[in-house]
Amino acid sequence: MRKISAIVSSQLNLDFSTVSEIQLYYRPKIKPSQRPKIDSSQSCYELLLKIWDSGNLEFVEEFKTLLLNRANKVIGVAPVSKGGFSGTVADPKVIFGYALKAAASSLILVHNHPSGNLKPSEADIRLTRKIKEAGKLLDLPVLDHLIITAEGYYSFADEGLL
C-alpha cells in the first residue's frame, strides 16, 4: 500500500505534510441524567422559549436544530442561521454537520416567524421534506419541525406534514 501511495504522491507532486488533519470532538456540559427530555411538541416549545433570545423572537428569523439522543434527551441546540425579518437560509450541510459531530440520534428543526404568523410557507414545507429525506439516508430521523412565535407554535408532526 505504501508503494501505491508513493507512486500517487510522486505523480501528482503532492506533499501530504501540508494537508490539514480534521478532528471531531464533542464536549457536553451537562450530565445525561440532567438533560431535558422532549416528549411532545409542547415540551419542545416550552424549552425553546427558555433558551431563545426573546429580543430576537419577533425581530429576526433564526433557524436552530435540537439534537437528541436515543432517549429523546436534548444533547444540545445548534444555531444554524440568523437572517432578516422575512427569512433565513437553513443549509442542510450545516444541520447534519452539527448532528453528526454531536453523535445525535435524531433531530428537531426549529425556526421562528417574527411576523407572528404560524402558517408554514411553501419554502418551509420543501425544506422540511428535503431535510427529512437526507435524514433517512443518514439514519438521523427528523422528529418534527416547529415554527415558533411569542404566542404559540406550529408542529409539522402534529399537523401530519412530516
The model's pTM: 0.82
pLDDT in tens, 139-160: 999 999 999 998 999 999 999 9
The structural domains of the chain, ordered by start, are 27-155 (3.40.140.10)
| Rama region for 81: left / alpha / beta (φ>0; ψ in -120 to 50; rest) | beta
What letter represents residue 6's amino acid?
A
3-state secondary structure 11-60: HHCCCHHHCCCCCCCCCCCCCHHHCCECCCHHHHHHHHHHHCCHHHHCCC
Q: What does pLDDT average to over the chain?
A: 87
Residue-level pLDDT at 33: 85
Among 19-28, 44-53, 71-80, where is mean pLDDT lowest? 19-28
Cell numbers for 19, please give them: 494537508
